[in-house]
């Protein structure tokens, strides 16, 4: 008589405390990520940095994060999210320690490079909540973790200056690093182990090296974008190098038995359309993030407000708050209405707000309300894309697929910032350092158009999901 095999044992359910530990870790990493930007002038003074060195410091973590996120997601899919996260956070904690003790710029740069590994915590968190929670609850949990990461960034922006000036620059790195250590220990104690999906899979080193080359070349090109128009040879060389890395990576991933990124996964409409939407929305968001503070600060002929740094920070605070709540709101909305409806509504509202700012920016409250609405709709949209991507793939591909959403987000923000700078540079009359008002109008209009065009990808995403 044949023996009926026992049904597979479902993974243990996790308590709210475990999700809370992941949220605490996300908030702590967001705080540590954001302390450099508001204190960059102080760091330049204390460490005698040139403007170019300050710019390098500000993007060091960004570049590392773009490289580490897909690797962490891939390793988490294969070897278990909790196991990889614990080791990754050890690297981040080491980076925070180096940054807090750094006596000079080289040591601080090393610390920032190590800290950049924190971006990998997000896809690893998504692996864990999807593994241990049912679909509806995991969507909300993904939104909560994403929102707390943004909220941590808001907290870091607010406290970095007072901590650095009241205590020292060393403490603004040490305090969030201590919080990361505590949160990591909490995750280790409260989160059940997730068994490796493919423990015997080898690391795709050629694919890793070539993908790193693609991302590094892309980030380098974006950082040099404003000056590349006057250097066609440099632009051509970058394009050729990027094309070579991309072609080589594609060829390697097609042939290897255990690819870092399964190209068949990227070819699915719900997946590639999510990346397109994320990129377009983040470009539009970055344009507003760049132009609104500039418009508040400028005192032009008949426009602008001449606001100082303190006033600008106060004006942008409502936007930071709406960005923090957008993650949980996006997760709840996707659970109730579906990703397609949420993304369509968010993109429509965001594009309309950008268009409204192009027409109406004569009062401070116009910019405050507009920036808050853009932060809210953008956060809801990106959270919906993360949820849609996570739930469109098998459990064993969650980390890889969602990490590429985060990389796309980073590239979109970098591209939007560089495009905004190019708008203002081109719109500044010869002999003046004040851009024309038309440069801001053009920037808002183009940002709104790019955002609205992503609606075509929403149709593809929904159609592909139905199929």
Q: What is the per-residue pLDDT across 107-153, written as a single tens digit (0 to 9) for each? A: 988 998 898 888 888 888 888 888 777 766 777 788 788 778 877 88
- In which region does residue 122 sit, left (phi positive, over 0), alpha (psi from -120 to 50) or beta (all else)? alpha
CA distance 327 to 348: 18
Closest-CA residue to 425 (of 440, 446, 444): 440
Q: How far is CA 207 from the centre of its chain?
A: 22
- Predicted local distance difference test score (pLDDT) of residue 279: 92
Pair 29, 180: CB distance under 8 Å = yes
CA distance 184 to 4: 41
CA distance 278 to 146: 14
Residue 346 has pLDDT above 90, yes or no: yes
Domains and CATH numbers, the chain: 16-190 (1.20.1250.20), 205-260 (no CATH), 263-466 (1.20.1250.20)
Q: What share of the chain has pLDDT > 70, as a percent?
A: 88
Q: Confidence band (pLDDT; 50, 70, 90) for 423?
A: confident
Tell me which DSSP letter residue 8 carries.
P
CA distance 341 to 384: 10
Q: What share of the chain has pLDDT > 90, as a percent?
A: 14
Residue 395 has pLDDT above 90, yes or no: no
Q: Confidence band (pLDDT; 50, 70, 90) for 355?
A: very high
402-134-76-10 Cα dihedral, nearest 10 degrees: -150
Q: What is the pLDDT of residues 240-259, one digit of tens each?
A: 988 898 898 888 878 877 77
- Which of 3-12, 178-187, 198-207, 328-337 is the least confident region? 3-12
- Predicted local distance difference test score (pLDDT) of residue 5: 46
Radius of gyration of the chain (CA): 22
- Predicted local distance difference test score (pLDDT) of residue 52: 62
Residue 4 has pLDDT above 60, yes or no: no
Pair 187, 113: CB distance under 8 Å = no
Pair 138, 15: CB distance under 8 Å = no
Pair 67, 212: CB distance under 8 Å = yes
Residue 462 has pLDDT above 70, yes or no: no
pTM over 0.85: no
Contacts of 380 (CB under 8 A, 6+ apart): 326, 329, 330, 333, 342, 346
Closest-CA residue to 36 (of 105, 137, 123, 87): 105
- Predicted local distance difference test score (pLDDT) of residue 6: 42
CA distance 383 to 389: 10
Residue 10 has pLDDT above 50, yes or no: no
Mean of per-residue pLDDT scores for the chain: 81
Pair 35, 173: CB distance under 8 Å = yes
- Predicted local distance difference test score (pLDDT) of residue 427: 79
Q: What is the mean pLDDT of residues 349-366?
A: 92
More confident residue, 349 or 223: 349
- Predicted local distance difference test score (pLDDT) of residue 245: 86
Count CB atoms within 10 A of the CB of residue 10: 8
Q: What is the pLDDT of residues 300-342, one digit of tens each?
A: 666 778 877 667 777 888 888 888 888 888 888 888 888 888 9
Q: What is the pLDDT of residues 71-111, one digit of tens each?
A: 888 888 777 778 888 888 999 999 999 989 888 888 988 99
Residue 168 has pLDDT above 90, yes or no: no
- Which of 114-118, 227-231, 414-418 is the least confident region? 227-231
CA distance 39 to 165: 9
For residue 133, the SS3 value is coil
Residue 442 has pLDDT above 60, yes or no: yes
Contacts of 5 (CB under 8 A, 6+ apart): none
- Predicted local distance difference test score (pLDDT) of residue 3: 45
CA distance 305 to 467: 52
């Amino acid at each position: 008589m044949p023996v009926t095999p026992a049904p597979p044992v479902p993974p243990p359910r996790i308590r709210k405390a475990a999700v809370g530990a992941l949220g605490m870790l996300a908030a702590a990493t967001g705080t540590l990520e954001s302390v450099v930007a508001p204190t960059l002038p102080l760091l330049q003074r204390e460490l005698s940095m040139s403007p170019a060195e300050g710019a390098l410091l500000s993007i060091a973590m960004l570049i590392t994060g773009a490289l580490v996120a897909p690797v962490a997601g891939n390793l988490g899919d294969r070897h278990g999210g909790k196991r990889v996260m614990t080791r990754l956070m050890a690297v981040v904690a080491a980076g925070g320690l180096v940054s807090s003790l750094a006596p000079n710029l080289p040591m601080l740069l090393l610390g920032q490079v190590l800290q950049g590994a924190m971006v990998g915590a997000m896809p690893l968190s998504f692996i864990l909540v999807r593994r241990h929670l049912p679909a509806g609850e995991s969507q909300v949990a993904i939104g909560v973790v994403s929102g707390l990461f943004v909220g941590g960034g808001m907290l870091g922006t607010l406290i970095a200056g007072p901590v650095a000036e009241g205590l020292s620059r060393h403490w603004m790195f040490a305090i969030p690093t201590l919080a990361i250590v505590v949160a990591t220990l909490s995750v280790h104690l409260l989160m059940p182990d997730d068994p490796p999906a493919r423990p015997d899979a080898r690391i795709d080193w050629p694919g890793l090296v070539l993908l790193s080359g693609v991302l590094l070349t892309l980030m380098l090109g974006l950082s040099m974008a404003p000056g590349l128009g006057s250097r066609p040879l440099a632009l051509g060389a970058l394009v050729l190098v990027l094309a070579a890395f991309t072609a080589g990576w594609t060829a390697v991933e097609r042939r290897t038995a255990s690819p870092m990124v399964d190209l068949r996964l990227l070819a699915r409409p719900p997946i590639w359309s999510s990346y397109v939407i994320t990129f377009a929305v983040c470009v539009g968001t970055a344009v507003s993030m760049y132009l609104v503070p500039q418009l508040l600060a400028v005192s032009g002929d008949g426009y602008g407000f001449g606001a100082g740094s303190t006033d600008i920070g106060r004006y942008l605070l409502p936007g930071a708050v709406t960005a923090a709540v957008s993650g949980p709101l996006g997760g709840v909305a996707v659970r109730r209405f579906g990703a397609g409806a949420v993304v369509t509504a968010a993109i429509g509202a965001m594009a309309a707000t950008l268009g409204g700012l192009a027409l109406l920016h004569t009062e401070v409250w116009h910019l405050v309300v507009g920036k808050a609405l853009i932060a809210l709709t953008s956060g809801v949209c990106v959270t919906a894309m993360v949820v849609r991507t996570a739930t469109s793939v098998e459990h064993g591909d969650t980390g890889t697929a969602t990490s590429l959403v985060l990389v796309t987000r980073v590239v979109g923000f970098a591209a939007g910032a560089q495009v905004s700078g190019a708008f203002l540079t081109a719109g500044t009359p010869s002999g003046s350092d004040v851009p024309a008002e038309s440069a801001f109008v053009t920037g808002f209009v183009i940002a709104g158009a790019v955002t609205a065009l992503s609606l075509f990808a929403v149709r593809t995403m929904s159609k592909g999901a139905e199929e």
